[in-house]
Every structure is written in structure tokens, then in C-alpha cells.
Amino acid sequence: MDLLTQVLVNGLLLGGLYAVMALGLALVWGVLNIVNLAHGSFIMLGAYCSWHLFHSLHIDPFLGLPLTAAVMFALGYAVQRGILNLIVRAPMFNTLLLTFGLDVVLTYLAQLAFSADFRTINPGYAGRQWHWGSVVLPTMRVAAFGAALVITMGMWLFLLHTRLGRAIRATAQNLVAARLYGVEPRHLYAMTFAIGVALAGTAGGLYGTVSQINHYIGASLTLKSFAIAIIGGLDNPLGVLVGGLFLGVVESLTILYIGPTFVDVASFGILALVLIVRPTGLLGKTA
């Protein structure tokens, strides 16, 4: 029983991190209709950014997150205005190709800049944990989970209650109507993409505190984010949160009861199932 509780806790804590990773991808996909295949690379760049802030400037990895987010926001804005806006109206295949190319370029640039060495963000309190009965709650993971919750809720409130958030949702629903109401799409798209990349970067910073950073981590994280975005649905950050938590728990239980080789079978099996049964995602609105 204790083992099961512990494994559930592990899964939930992991799932929170998954959710933040997927949040940016779902936002960009939902609004711009771009499946950003370079999403994982932005997570990776954010992780390196956080690592630098921690190692060179000795900024606490959690306090450094807003800085990382700011840097990544600027990068995202520039990438959208400079590159992606050129093809935002093009068929989906073009955007897939372009973001895939971007992913390759960013991965190789990162290897040139940071070498193939592994990095970790390992502050002094990394080894601490809280004990709840016999269940262990690692401080870092709980902190990362907390940050994930705050970010997701913040995203939700932002989309609901701010002018920019409403404009983003309006554009996602109906571009023509949004333009009639004075939304300037180029700027709005760039803002949305920048927010998506800032979220990816923040997720990267959190990822570095619990796992290891390498130029290559992006590809698998893109895949994971993609699965979560589909499972959770694109139009609601809360859906992504539920999708992330769900996937984290399912993966952990699969390892415990079926075997660690079957993790991907379970997660992509669920992905297929969701696509068949609830194509709009777990919390998505049905038409």
C-alpha cells in the first residue's frame, strides 16, 4: 500500500512537470494552428538558460525562472516575427517542416555552444525531502510541482481575464471577427508564440532541477508534450494540467504493475484511445 501511495505521488509530481512542458505547445497549436516541433528545443534552451543563471550568476533556480521566461519570451517573439509569420497562413505541412528545421538547427547550435556534456541544476537543498508517514515527498519535485500549478492557473486566469488573453482566445475562435474588433494578428501571433516559448523555457528550468540537461533532450520532450496536449485538449490550460497529471500517473502505474518497458505502449495507447473516444481532449468541449 505504501509503495502504491509513493508511486502515485511520484506520478503526480512528474505529471505536474509534464503539464508545464505541454502548456506552451498547446497554446501555440490552439491559437496559431502550428504544431511547434521545435517546442522541445525551446525547453532545452530554457534549461540551459536556467543552468547558466544558477552556475555563473548563482541565482536560485526557482527565483531565476522569471528571468529565463523573459529571455525566452524575447526569443520567441523574434522567431515568430522573423520566421514563422512568413508561413503562418501556409498549409500545415509547411509549418511542420519549418519548425522541424528550427528544431534541428537549435539542437546543433546547442551542442556547439554547450558541448555534449550533461548538466544538472543541483542547488544545496536538492536532496531534502518531507516525510508523510512512510511516503517521501522530495522538496525539489514538490517545488517544481507547485510552480507548475501556479503557472497553469496563472495561464488560465490570464486567458480569461486580461485584454491580451481575451484577444488570444478570440483569434483562436474566429480570426475574421477578431480582426474586425481591432486585433492586429501579426503582433498577437508573436505575443502568443512568445508566451508559448516563455512557458517552454520555464518548463526547461524546472526540468533541469529534477533531471539532466543535454542538447538532445528536446526531441523526446516535444513528443511527450504533443501527447499531453492531445490528451488534455487545446483550448483550456486546465485540460493540459489534467492531461499531464493523468499521463504521469499512468506511466508510474505501468512501471509498477506491467513493467518499465511498456511505458510508451501505455502513454501512446492512451493517446490513440483519446483520439478515438474524445478527439477534443479530456476537458475539451464537444461540438
Q: How many residues can be counted in the chain?
A: 287
Determine if 211 is a binding residue for another protein (CB under 8 A). yes
Of 114 and 158, CB closest to another protein: 114
Determine if 162 is a binding residue for another protein (CB under 8 A). no
Query: How many Å apart are CA 5 and CA 172, to the nearest integer?
Result: 40
Residue 78's identity, in one-letter code, is: A
Q: Which of 67, 87, 96, 126 binds another protein (CB under 8 A)?
A: 126
Q: Classify the C-alpha dihedral 155-206-213-258 as positive or negative.
A: negative
Query: How many Å apart are CA 68 and CA 201, to the nearest integer?
Result: 6
Smallest gap, in angstroms, from Cβ of residue 199 to another protein?
A: 19
- Going along the chain, which residue ranges are E strands? 129-132, 135-138
Determine if 216 is a binding residue for another protein (CB under 8 A). yes
Residue 62's identity, in one-letter code, is: F
Q: Which of 129, 158, 185, 238 binds another protein (CB under 8 A)?
A: 129
Determine if 11 is a binding residue for another protein (CB under 8 A). yes
Determine if 222 is a binding residue for another protein (CB under 8 A). no
Q: Which stretch binds another protein (CB under 8 A): 30-38, 59-67, 160-168, 248-256?
A: 248-256
Taking CB under 8 A as the criterion, which residues in 70-109 touch another protein?
A: 107-108
Query: How many Å apart are CA 223 and CA 103, to the nearest integer?
Result: 13
Q: Which of 36, 95, 225, 252 binds another protein (CB under 8 A)?
A: 252
Residue 270's identity, in one-letter code, is: I
Query: How many Å apart are CA 82 and CA 197, to the nearest integer?
Result: 15
Determine if 122 is a binding residue for another protein (CB under 8 A). yes
DSSP SS3 for 259: coil
Binding site for another protein (CB under 8 A): 2-3, 6-7, 10-11, 14, 107-108, 111, 115-120, 122, 126-127, 129, 136, 138-141, 210-212, 214-216, 220, 224, 251-252, 255-256, 259-264
